[in-house]
A and B are shown apart, each in its own frame.
Chain A
Amino acid sequence: MLSPDLKARFDEEVKTHKIVLYMKGNQLFPQCGFSARALEALKPFGPIHSVNVLEDNAIREGIKEYSHWPTIPQVYINGQFVGGCDIVTDLAARGELEALVKGG
């Protein structure tokens, strides 16, 4: 179950950073190809606040519940859940990520 503390942490985190990436590994060493692809798609659009879910199982499971999304990576832009690797790379390919980052 998603604890109120953890929910508050996610609320705060996605609100205070323009781009948040919940990923496996960190930006220098992504530990999953899908996390790496999401990271690459986001890189041109400014600083990314990344969270390594492998360091904390409560976060790894909690974020799935928080987003109603069963997989990692997960991307938030301007406080809005954007999706996982497929959606983010699709949006990047269609040139729609920039507008998302700028909006809000």
Chain B
Amino acid sequence: MLDPSWIEARIKTALPDADVTVLDTTGTGDHFEARVVSPAFSGKSMVQQHQLVYAPLKDVLATGELHALALKTYSPEQWAKAKP
């Protein structure tokens, strides 16, 4: 069982200036959805952006403790346009 705030904190170890929101989508502590907005994403492809978020979670993804993390990543410029 993982906690959204734990995942948030982990992501921030790699991306300290990111704005991170994590939701437990099934209530079972293994499927999550995250929105990450970070200046580190500027000029990077979506693959590179997702890799930056996955990196600090590699161990829990490998063990399956974290089964799924649906990701939305934005640079601040992209977020200004995409924001609902």
Interface positions of A (Cβ within 8 A of B): 34, 64, 68-71, 81-87, 90
* Residues of A close to B72: CB separation below 8 A: 86
A-B contact count (CB 8 A): 32
Q: Is the CB of B61 within 8 A of A81?
A: no
CA distance A12 to B50 in the complex (A): 25
Residue of A nearest to B60 (CB): A70
Which B positions have Cβ atoms within 8 angstroms of A? Answer: 46-47, 50-51, 54, 57-58, 61-62, 68-72
A64 to B62, CA, bound (A): 9
How many whole Å from B48's CB to the nearest CB in chain A?
10
In the complex with contacts A68-B51, A70-B54, A71-B54, A86-B61 CB distance below 8 A: no
* Residue pair B50, A86 in contact (C-beta under 8 Å): yes
Contact of B46 with A90 in the complex, beta carbons under 8 Å: yes
15 example contacts (A-B, Cβ-Cβ < 8 A) are as follows A34-B68, A68-B51, A69-B50, A69-B51, A69-B54, A70-B54, A70-B57, A70-B58, A70-B62, A71-B68, A81-B47, A82-B47, A83-B47, A87-B47, A90-B46
